[in-house]
Amino acid sequence: MIIQCQSCSRKFIVKDSDISSKGRTVKCGYCSVTWHQMPISNKVKVKAEKKETIKKSNEGLSVDEIKASDGKTYKFLGTQWAQLLPSGKTGLFAKKKIGKELDKLTGRERVTEKREKKIKKELNPSSENLNTDKKLPDVYRPKEGLGFFGYIFLIIIIGFSIVGILKTFENDLLNYYPESKYIFELLNMQLEFFSETLKNMIVIINDLINSY
């Protein structure tokens, strides 16, 4: 028989005959703590008898109404166990430990946590298996395109880039394509007009700022 000290957790090997059926007082050789040691074989028998008592007490009750090890009768309410009062009404919900015990006795599987995880996964917008075009609300959908002002800004940038390239290679283009002279004259006129317009706008803005 192997016994264990309740204080320092040291284990000792003793003969079964040294511990009577009523138990005896033993002392730890390391920490000198004494306790009343019962035969380990008797403890196993007590546990077996306790399980049999629970099973017998549950005979005749409905599968949804069963007595737990705490002596109380519980009723299954679809997803959770609740205490069954003498009046027939249900009281407080069973503790997690008691609920697991009742599920084991009745052969039920605790699927509540799995169901909650599955629901959260279905509602998670970052899920790989989620079809974003059909199931996600508009707040999760990415914006498509640049928008009206975005396209205008892009056109302006492209226009200035083309004008800059033409002005950079103006002499080379005129040497190879003399007929492009009219294009550059028109371009220079437009640039002068734009420059004058920009100067006038700056003057107007300065006057407005100075007037306040």
What is the pLDDT at residue 204? 92
> Left (φ > 0), alpha (ψ -120 to 50) or beta: where does 23 sit?
left
Give dist(CA 166, CA 164) in Å, integer. 6
Cα distance between residue 73 and residue 68, in whole Å: 6
- For the cut 60, the answer to whether the pLDDT of residue 18 exceeds it is yes
Which of 13 and 48 is assigned the larger pLDDT? 13
76: which residues sit within 8 A by CB, 6+ positions away? 63, 64, 65, 102, 106, 108
Query: In this predicted structure, what is the pLDDT of residue 163?
Result: 85
Radius of gyration of the chain (CA): 44
Cβ pair 140, 125 in contact under 8 A:
yes
Pick the closest to residue 68 from 39, 88, 97 (CA basis). Answer: 97
3-state helix, strand, coil in the chain (%, to 5): 55, 15, 35
Would you give the DSSP letter of residue 142?
A: P
Res. 200: pLDDT tops 80: yes
Q: What one-letter code names the amino acid at 156? A: I
Q: Please tell me which residue, 169 or 82, carries the higher pLDDT value.
A: 169
> Structure pTM?
0.29
Question: Residues 56-61: what's their mean pLDDT?
Answer: 43
Tokens (6 digits) for 155? 């056109």
What pLDDT score was predicted for residue 205?
92
User: pLDDT tens for residues 69-128?
Assistant: 777 887 877 677 777 777 777 777 777 788 788 777 776 655 445 555 555 555 455 444
